[in-house]
């Protein structure tokens, strides 16, 4: 079984202190940093772009897990790669040619992630799974932090886990959306090995990041 990893979403961090917040996450035992990039078009919210990621990357050696919720995504992949993204996750709906976008990320020597919205079926990525490093299952409709977890997506994680075992593939299964102490265990049991969490990590237990990460990992 893969090691359980935590990828805190900086969408819930104090944006006036982002450099310090990332240091707090590292000291608290975070495995990577989850960066939500939204364009106000593919999803109804605007967040950060390559300059902010580049500035943060200069201050941290942590893995940057960058989730691109932008459309059309293909032409922006290189900019986020150059900014310092280590994992680049895209949505099938945001590109005209998923295979081409996957290969573009590979050519840039970055890890490839593909994200499935709550209504998107696993079938969309089946033929590409041997080229994908990470499948991100959205357990809320993307766009805003602090939404309620949708347990119905756990079936997709179980489906992916079976495919992974049958085909002897090694991609990570990440889950993002409303992850807290009440549902992290069922997400892990379903087969997720990377949990994205924002509000729970930054706000629970008076902002005790180390404790919150440990609690999310505990089964």
Identify the residue whose tokens are 């990039």: 37
Alpha carbons 36 and 66: distance in angstroms, whole number:
6
Which residue is catalytic, options 39, 65, 172, 176?
A: 176
176 is catalytic: yes
CA gap 93, 72 in Å, rounded? 9
pTM, rounded to two decimals: 0.96
What backbone phi and psi angles, to 5 degrees, belong to 171? -70, 150
**CA 112-134-202 angle, 5° bins:** 110
Other beta carbons less than 10 A from residue 196's beta carbon: 26
The SS3 of residue 116 is: strand
pLDDT in tens, the chain (219 residues): 799 999 999 999 999 999 999 999 999 999 999 999 999 999 988 899 999 999 999 989 999 999 999 999 999 999 999 999 999 999 999 999 999 999 999 999 999 999 999 999 999 999 999 999 999 999 999 876 667 999 999 999 999 999 999 999 999 999 999 999 999 999 999 999 999 999 999 999 999 999 999 999 986
Radius of gyration of the chain (CA): 16
Tell me whether residue 86 is one of the annotated catalytic residues: no
Q: What pLDDT is recorded for position 213?
A: 98
Instruction: State how beta strands 64-69 and 33-38 pair.
Output: parallel
Cβ atoms of 87 and 134 closer than 8 Å: yes
167 CB-near residues (< 8 Å, 6+ apart): 129, 130
CA distances from 78 to 50, 70, 118, 219 (A): 10, 13, 27, 38
pLDDT, position 145: 65
Active site residue: 36, 39, 133, 172, which one?
36
Bond from prior residue into 72 cis (ω within 30 degrees of 0): yes
Pick the CATH number of 5-217 from 3.40.50.2020, 3.30.70.270, 3.20.20.70, 3.40.50.1390: 3.20.20.70
Cα torsion 169, 170, 175, 181 to 10°: value is 120
Encode burial over 83-97: b for 16+ CB neighbours within 10 A, e otherwise. Answer: bbbbbbbbbbebbee
Residue 176: the pLDDT is 97
**pLDDT computed for residue 142 by the predictor:** 86
pLDDT of 44 reads: 87
Contact between 90 and 113 (Cβ < 8 Å) = yes
Q: How far apart are CA 151 and CA 118, in angstroms?
A: 10
């Amino acid at each position: 079984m893969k090691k359980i990893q935590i990828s805190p979403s900086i969408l819930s961090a104090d944006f006036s202190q982002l450099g310090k917040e990332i240091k707090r996450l590292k000291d608290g035992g975070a495995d990577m940093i989850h960066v939500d990039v939204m364009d106000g078009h593919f999803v109804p919210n605007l967040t950060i772009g390559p300059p902010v990621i580049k500035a943060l990357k200069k201050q941290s050696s942590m893995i940057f897990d960058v989730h691109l919720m932008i459309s059309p995504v293909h032409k922006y992949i290189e900019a986020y790669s150059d900014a310092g993204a280590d994992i680049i996750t895209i949505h099938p709906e945001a590109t005209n040619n998923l295979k081409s976008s996957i290969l573009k990320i590979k050519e840039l020597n970055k890890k490839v992630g593909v994200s499935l919205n709550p209504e998107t079926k696993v079938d969309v990525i089946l033929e590409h799974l041997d080229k994908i490093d990470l499948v991100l299952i959205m357990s809320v409709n993307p766009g805003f932090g602090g939404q309620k977890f949708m347990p119905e997506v756990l079936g997709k994680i179980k489906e992916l886990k079976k495919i992974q075992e049958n085909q002897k593939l090694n991609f990570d299964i990440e889950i993002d959306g409303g992850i807290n102490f009440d549902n992290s265990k069922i997400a892990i049991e379903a087969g997720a090995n990377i949990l994205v969490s924002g509000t729970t990590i930054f706000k629970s237990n008076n902002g005790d990041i180390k404790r919150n990460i440990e609690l999310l990992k505990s089964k």
